[in-house]
Structure 1
Amino acid sequence: MAVNTRTRPPGPATAGPPLRRLGFLLVRHRRLVLSLALALLVAAGVSAAGAVPRLSLARFEAPGSESDRAQAELQARFGTGSPDMIFLVTARTGTVDDPAIEAAGRELTARVARADGVAEAASYWTRGRPVTLRSEDGRHALILVRVPGDADHVRAGVLPRLVPEITEGTELLQVRAGGGEEVFRETVPLSRQDFVRAELIIFPLAFVLLWLYQRRVMAALVPILAGVYAMVIGLALLAGVLAFAEISTFALNLTLAMGLGLGIDYCLFVVHRFREEVRRGADRAAAVAGAVEHAGRTVLFSGLTVAASLAVLFVLPFDFLRSFAYAGVAVVIGGLVAAVLVLPAVLASIGGTMLPGRERPERENGLWHGLATRVMRRPLVSGGVATALLLVLASPFLGLRFGVADDRVLPPQASSRQTQEVIRQTFPAEETDAIQLVSRDAVTADVTSYATALSRLPGVAQVDTAEGSFAGGARMGGGDPARFRGDGTWLSVVPSAAALADDPVRLVGAVRAVEPPFPVLVGGYPAELADYRASVVDRLPLVIGLMLVITFAVLYVMTRSVLIPLKATLLNVLSLAVMSGVLVWVFQDGNLSGLLGFTATGTLDPSIPILMLCVAYGLSMDYEVFLLSRIKEEYDRTGDTERAVAAGLQRGAPLITAAGGILALTFAAYATAEVMFVQMLGVGMAVAVLVDATVIRAVLVPSLMRLAGPLNWWPKGRATTPGR
């Protein structure tokens, strides 16, 4: 299609709203803008490359919680703490009680204890042969290892040296590594491989889909480049944040996923409007300025809602989740720079290559206009059927059970998961995940009575103390004063394997419910998980409430309406309910586990779903903002709500459907991952985007706006677009 490439000189034609003036400014100085953009990209690339190795490995822990204080007391008063990892030792012949095996096991335990970074190492042979450290068939025994330090020191510093050295084994012993630190050490590289594999699928897939939609090579390539630009800028901004905050390495994954998605979406919004302006007869400069004025405003509001949705994670006192807030805000800034500042200069330079070869006439009464008209003709029926369908999809959410992540987030072939499977199947108890009760003021008689009561709890295999070991309410053996006494005393409540696999948080609650005869702090890995989960879940209403209020305020500023932001908020909550229902049905209940290749545990860890709620809510608002901007523009022009909705859907729905389909397919590529966390992100986000871009935008939005009528625009009545 021929297009007038002449750029208008400054003058009355370039006057208007600030964004329109910005568009003309970017056109006039396009070479300078592109040169600065390229220089910024190079500098950001260097900064981003330096940021990636500085990302931290985070733990699921609640600072300041009871379990956190208990761990500090154990370290300060007794010089001990929870084991960070374990070595599963298997006798190649005979049992672990054979004299030769015992001698080899003692020597191996001593070698582990001498290793750099190891503070403590104890085993079945050095602890007096407790049954909790020996498998029921006698072939396996455990070495418990404590490696102090933060997650980076343990997982990236100590374990990469220690694990290969010890798991070489000996002529008599086979050795495998396991435990929480080893599980999550394996999770990081596997998740990175998952994202690399997905990106190798996503980039060519996105290009093909964009070409099918745009029918021009450059129109398909530029949005992908915009996504890459957003990624790089986002990572560079994270490099600055690293100067004062820790950011989890998993934030890199979010930056890659959201950077591409937002870059494509925002670029499509601007390019679509540029094409529309050209089709209406504008020259290239005016078309770019019009795209910046209208689509640029939409992109800015969209970016603000996405950033606000993720920024609410800052209220959570967990570095792991705050990392995603930093990453989300950073990548939104990158997307806005790419779409609002760089892309207009690109369009001013090569905009002709982005236009279709044969322009189709714009249809006022096309498919989407007809659909909107039919929906608004019977809004209660159409909206009721769509709502019922979505509520059915969301209904599994009513059975949500929060739990804690364990080794089963890894694929079955992961070595640490195989180690944990052996422990689950052959050991009577989970000594490595004992609940620890620390006290300064205990006396002998009280310790005995307290341990006896604790040992009667369902799910407790035994209770070890300085006064003896107790099981089922009876003393089973002598105590270990050297281990349990110091400036006070502590007790080790060893859970059964079945109790730990079923619900360790419930067991922690039962232990805490037993009235202690002296003040105690309850710690240990199960208590840490319980406190973390409680801290996250307790703050969930605050997170959701802030997210709703902030995005309501943003949409109110955009529309000057009370009802439209309220309607948008309710519809997005419905979209999130569908996503949550699918997560429960698939990943908690285990449906599709065979197809996707994961192991369901009957619960969901709250961390990833909370992250997904914030991301999905922001992306849903992305499409809401775009559609509302088109509807409002038509309403400003005509003052007729039904006509504005039908026209807005006709002009906006094809782009929303295309952008949503591309984004959903890119997220769906993460379903090929081996780590269940990544699969959850892919499946949940794909479902949320598809539901939002189809049923909600095409059916529920027009039906609700038809029912509301003039109230849509209350309190201003007929609105006027700011700046016009």
Structure 2
Amino acid sequence: MSPLVRLARVIARAPRTVVVLAVLGTLGLYALATVGVTGEGLFQRVTTGPPLVTGSDSWEVYEARIRTQDPETGPRLAIYVTGVDVDDAVVAQETAEAVDEIAALPRVATVASPFGLGVGPAYVPDPDAAQVDPVAQMAALIDADRTGYLIDVTFESFGDDDPLETHLEIADLVAGHVDAMTAAHPDAVSRAFSNPLVFDDFTAQLEQDLITGEIVALPAALIVMVFVFGGFLAAATPLTGAVASIAGGLAVLYGFSYLLDLDQSAVNVVTVLGIGLSIDYGLLLVSRFREELHRAGTDPREARAEALERTLATAGRTVLFSGLIVAVSVGGMIFFSPEMMRGFGGAAIGVVTTAMIAALTIVPAVLYLLAPRIVGAGLLARVPGLRRIIRTTSNVDREHGAFSRLAGWVQRRPWLVVAATTALLLVLASPVLQLNLRSSDIEALPVGNERRDYIDAFTVGFPDLAEPAVTVHSLASPAELAPYLDAVADVEGVTAVLEPEVAGGETFVGVRLAAADSSGSEATAVVRDIRQVPTDVEVHVGGVAATQLDFTDAIREGALIAGTVVVIATFVLLFLMTGSLLVPLKTLLINSLSLLATLGVVTWIFGEGHLEATLGFTSTGGVETYVAVIIVAFGFGLAMDYEVFLLSRVKEYVDAGESNDAAVRKGLQRSGRIITSAATVIVLVFLGFALGDLLMIKEVGVGLAFAVLLDATVVRMLLVPATMTLLGDWNWWAPAPLRRLHRRLNLQH
């Protein structure tokens, strides 16, 4: 007796207990994720920041910046006021008054503006600080067009208090004073910026996008499944696993946040994967359970125990193999050196495992309890306008129908289908040749966000104060660095080497580039050249351009290891499932081509800026580097998910003695409805999350939605049956020793 059959018997003996434990567990896991052990939930533990590679030059510079920050000061807050006349005496007077009011706020150290300087209650003189000309300092805070100015606020360290919450509270007070000051000027606009405000914006936007995605995706999924199963009860059953998977997935992410630095977007990305897989697995199990009840032809109450055993022995086996293969696919990311990618990979493994466990426990228990009420079509099948549609879409009895006819059509012209579908995939993949990988920061926030608008305006208004694309760091003194900096100034593409800045005994030097795009290929090429400049002292080259270069290089280096592990593990798992060597090889080749086509479409949309108005985004001129990795990893996993659905059913018929071609036709008929239904649902899920405003979430949503759509139609319905027809009985070939091994393992249906 297989372990899955034993599991089915355990569930059948105590289904209500399983459901009650699942409800309590779901509530507990959700509470753990949102509140945490110490009151700090998942959304407070995730991080945001540049995609750093530990040990790289850019990481060394970033760490040095943090290391040399004054521990007695808190994050700075800048307010950029535009749309005013800086030469107006009234503006000067009102700003000076506002500066005095802000300086009086608790925990404020200093306030600087073009019209006066304020000293707050937290100000502590630093005798070692360099003397600054106050007149020059104030003049530097007026923008280039003299239509705006900055108010710069510094704070004391917030110590053991919640730094984020404390900063946000004081920032609100500061903004209130500025808004009161500008109220009399109808054209005046004030924008606040600080690192904590950026973090808070990303967190709030992620939470909003997650809610938006769930509000859109889950009801849309329910509607599709009503048509698939002909009733609300059967349709709602897969959602029980999805809800549990969401809670479990968030709890898994919370746990991983103690092991790795989880990027904020990981919450949305892996949660949507868990929802999609849960619904996929639920659809497969519900469909097979109803099929087994129909086949029994007796009272569902009497047949449900045996039907559940048969369901878990077949569809449950498919879910188990699919879960393992998808976990391997997404888990390949743990072999990349950037901690961000390892966090994605580890969290994704946990979420996939959660979805698989929920599908093999909660869904079967609910099915057992609802068996008498989910066999036939529900109330909607009695509605005249829907009766015929639902009876067709919810039928689980036929071995011949639209999908078997499609397979027969393909089998009569397999070479034509292979040629046409391959040509289509290659055309779709062609934009990959122009793929530009980049790592966005503030521009990932939606247009209209205050922090993004601040940076856009600041870059124009204060070009000399904008963060340089490259930063050189060294423990050497400015004098010792001088020969090296002179050589850097001569590098093609360098426009200026700024005055060295010494902090904590370490030297930092900003380098400005001619490249307009600090994350583009032109800027990263200059970084490579700067790093080749000979020097007698140790230096590290960091900044935006260097971070982009190091992250992309690390992804390329890790791709070989990750890809090798995923390919070998997937090949082995597919062999264990099918007993064939050719089927896994063919599957890997086809899925690779499909993924290239998906990346090509994502490049065309987001890299080249097509469909900006339709999808509501502004192109950055490339695709997020880690998004491309996620699309490949998750897209490969989902493609394998549908491949397992199809192959397991075809192999079931082959093992029962059917010919290869007949098995393909019957297998496609039995699995085609589930594949297309599951794909429809998961496309809606991904598109629901694509309605969010964060650029990387939108890229992931659109990219994976297209990957699933392409795979479930062109690949799974046309290309796979055509290639299986051409191979014929060779599909199931393996050397005799491996065939004997497969039989000994008893992995047959």
- Are the aligned partners of 2:630 and 2:700 in contact in 1 as well (CA < 8 Å)? no
Residue 432 of structure 1: how far off its partner (Å): 2.2
Residue identity opposite 1:642 in structure 2 = D
Note the alpha carbon deviations across 1:517-546, whole angstroms, 9 max, x for none. 533222334433432333233323332332
Kindly report which structure 2 residues correspond to 1:266-415, keeping only aligned pairs within 5 A, or say none: 266-281=281-296, 283-357=303-377, 362-415=397-450
Separation (CA, whole Å) in 2 of partners of 1:586 and 1:381: 29
Residue of structure 1 in register with 2:86 after alignment: 94
- Are the aligned partners of 2:571 and 2:584 in contact in 1 as well (CA < 8 Å)? yes
Residue identity opposite 1:681 in structure 2 = V
Which range moves more in the overlay, 401-410 or 714-723? 714-723
Cα 1:70–1:319, aligned 2, differ >3 Å: closer, same or farther?
Answer: closer
Residue of structure 2 in register with 1:464 after alignment: 498
SS in 1 for 2:250: helix
Q: 494, 498, 508: which is aligned to 2:512?
A: 494
Separation (CA, whole Å) in 2 of partners of 1:217 and 1:638: 37
Residue of structure 1 in register with 2:565 after alignment: 546
Residue 70 of structure 1: how far off its partner (Å): 3.0
Note the alpha carbon deviations across 1:652-672, whole angstroms, 9 max, x for none. 111101111111122112232
Separation (CA, whole Å) in 2 of partners of 1:661 and 1:611: 21
Residue identity opposite 1:41 in structure 2 = T
Note the alpha carbon deviations across 1:48-104, whole angstroms, 9 max, x for none. 333434532132222221122234445667969999875435583225999979989
Cα 1:116–1:651, aligned 2, differ >3 Å: closer, same or farther?
Answer: farther
Residue identity opposite 2:85 in structure 1 = T
Residue of structure 2 in register with 1:477 after alignment: none
Separation (CA, whole Å) in 1 of partners of 2:540 and 2:502: 15
Which range moves more in the overlay, 630-639 or 508-517? 508-517
Residue of structure 2 in register with 1:20 after alignment: 5
SS in 1 for 2:112: helix
Separation (CA, whole Å) in 2 of partners of 1:263 and 1:529: 35
Which range moves more in the overlay, 341-350 or 457-466? 457-466
Cα 1:450–1:248, aligned 2, differ >3 Å: closer, same or farther?
Answer: closer
Kindly report which structure 2 residues correspond to 1:516-555, keeping only aligned pairs within 5 A, or say none: 516=535, 518-555=537-574
Which range moves more in the overlay, 176-185 or 639-648? 176-185
Are residues 1:211 and 2:226 paired?
A: yes
Separation (CA, whole Å) in 2 of partners of 1:661 and 1:197: 18
Which range moves more in the overlay, 356-365 or 19-28? 356-365
Separation (CA, whole Å) in 1 of partners of 2:306 and 2:645: 21
Cα 1:304–1:96, aligned 2, differ >3 Å: closer, same or farther?
Answer: farther
Note the alpha carbon deviations across 1:10-40, whole angstroms, 9 max, x for none. xxxxxx4332233233212323333333333
Kindly report which structure 2 residues correspond to 1:506-517, keeping only aligned pairs within 5 A, or say none: 506-516=525-535
Separation (CA, whole Å) in 1 of partners of 2:150 and 2:526: 23
Residue 224 of structure 1: how far off its partner (Å): 1.4
Kindly report which structure 2 residues correspond to 1:523-602, keeping only aligned pairs within 5 A, or say none: 523-602=542-621
Cα 1:556–1:50, aligned 2, differ >3 Å: closer, same or farther?
Answer: farther
Residue 149 of structure 1: how far off its partner (Å): 11
Cα 1:629–1:320, aligned 2, differ >3 Å: closer, same or farther?
Answer: same
Cα 1:436–1:387, aligned 2, differ >3 Å: closer, same or farther?
Answer: same
SS in 2 for 1:484: strand
Are residues 1:226 and 2:241 paired?
A: yes
Separation (CA, whole Å) in 1 of partners of 2:665 and 2:456: 58
Separation (CA, whole Å) in 2 of partners of 1:496 and 1:398: 25
SS in 1 for 2:618: coil
Residue 199 of structure 1: how far off its partner (Å): 1.4
Separation (CA, whole Å) in 2 of partners of 1:484 and 1:302: 56
- Uncovered stretches (5+) of structure 1, i.e. residues with no partner: 1-15, 467-482
SS in 2 for 1:665: helix
- Residue correspondences, number: 690
Residue of structure 1 in register with 2:105 after alignment: none
Kindly report which structure 2 residues correspond to 1:115-134, keeping only aligned pairs within 5 A, or say none: 128=136
Identity of aligned residues (%): 31
Note the alpha carbon deviations across 1:352-379, whole angstroms, 9 max, x for none. 2222237858333322112112212221
Residue of structure 1 in register with 2:381 after alignment: none
Residue identity opposite 2:511 in structure 1 = V
Cα 1:436–1:166, aligned 2, differ >3 Å: closer, same or farther?
Answer: farther
Are residues 1:41 and 2:26 paired?
A: yes
Q: 732, 735, 738: which is aligned to 1:713?
A: 732
Residue of structure 2 in register with 1:156 after alignment: 164
- Are the aligned partners of 2:294 and 2:375 in contact in 1 as well (CA < 8 Å)? no
SS in 2 for 1:437: strand
Separation (CA, whole Å) in 2 of partners of 1:66 and 1:82: 26
- Are the aligned partners of 1:56 and 1:247 in contact in 2 as well (CA < 8 Å)? yes
Residue 313 of structure 1: how far off its partner (Å): 1.7
Are residues 1:247 and 2:262 paired?
A: yes
SS in 2 for 1:436: strand
Separation (CA, whole Å) in 1 of partners of 2:74 and 2:17: 59
Note the alpha carbon deviations across 1:209-247, whole angstroms, 9 max, x for none. 111111111011111122101111222334444454443
Separation (CA, whole Å) in 1 of partners of 2:492 and 2:161: 37
Cα 1:269–1:459, aligned 2, differ >3 Å: closer, same or farther?
Answer: same
- Are the aligned partners of 2:333 and 2:344 in contact in 1 as well (CA < 8 Å)? yes
SS in 2 for 1:280: helix
Separation (CA, whole Å) in 2 of partners of 1:304 and 1:137: 60
Residue identity opposite 2:456 in structure 1 = E
Q: 180, 193, 200: which is aligned to 2:215?
A: 200
Task: Give the TM-score, by structure 1 length.
Answer: 0.85
Separation (CA, whole Å) in 1 of partners of 2:56 and 2:514: 25
Separation (CA, whole Å) in 2 of partners of 1:222 and 1:267: 7
RMSD: 3.8
Residue of structure 1 in register with 2:59 after alignment: 68
- Are the aligned partners of 2:86 and 2:92 in contact in 1 as well (CA < 8 Å)? no
Which range moves more in the overlay, 108-117 or 305-314? 108-117
- Are the aligned partners of 1:91 and 1:139 in contact in 2 as well (CA < 8 Å)? yes
Q: 269, 272, 280: which is aligned to 1:257?
A: 272
Cα 1:398–1:276, aligned 2, differ >3 Å: closer, same or farther?
Answer: same
Separation (CA, whole Å) in 2 of partners of 1:433 and 1:179: 17
Cα 1:95–1:501, aligned 2, differ >3 Å: closer, same or farther?
Answer: farther
- Are the aligned partners of 2:111 and 2:154 in contact in 1 as well (CA < 8 Å)? no
Residue identity opposite 2:354 in structure 1 = G
Separation (CA, whole Å) in 2 of partners of 1:560 and 1:497: 55
Which range moves more in the overlay, 650-659 or 139-148? 139-148
- Are the aligned partners of 1:223 and 1:267 in contact in 2 as well (CA < 8 Å)? yes
Q: 607, 614, 617: which is aligned to 2:636?
A: 617
- Are the aligned partners of 2:436 and 2:621 in contact in 1 as well (CA < 8 Å)? yes
Residue 284 of structure 1: how far off its partner (Å): 1.8
- Are the aligned partners of 1:563 and 1:714 in contact in 2 as well (CA < 8 Å)? yes
